[in-house]
């Protein structure tokens, strides 16, 4: 199962994005695939066992440390 650390965004970089709010203690989304994505700062698991499409281009605010994270493998437009 591949596991990725997400890339941190500044609030300026995330401006205008649809930000998903993670809550500490449980993944924002779980199931449907085999990719796990962790907060790039505190390593909290934000997306667990999801399909790549579920992580593609999302912006997630970590409920533990408040960092804004995005998925790092989206440079193939």
Binding site for Zn ion (CB under 5 A): 39, 41-42, 44, 62, 64-65, 67
Least distance to Zn ion from the beta carbon of 59, Å?
Answer: 13
Q: Dihedral, CA atoms, 42, 44, 47, 52, nearest 10 degrees?
A: 40
CB of 27: closest distance to Zn ion in angstroms? 12
Q: Which one, 19 or 65, has the nearer CB to Zn ion?
A: 65
Shortest CB 40 distance to Zn ion, Å: 8
The 3-state DSSP class for residue 36 equals strand
């Amino acid at each position: 199962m591949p596991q990725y650390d997400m890339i941190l965004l500044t609030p300026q970089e995330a401006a205008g994005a649809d930000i998903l709010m993670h809550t500490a203690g449980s993944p924002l989304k779980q199931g449907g695939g085999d990719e796990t994505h962790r907060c790039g700062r505190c390593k909290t698991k934000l997306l667990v066992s999801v399909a790549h499409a579920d992580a593609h281009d999302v912006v997630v605010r970590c409920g533990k440390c408040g960092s804004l994270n995005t998925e790092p493998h989206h440079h193939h437009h």
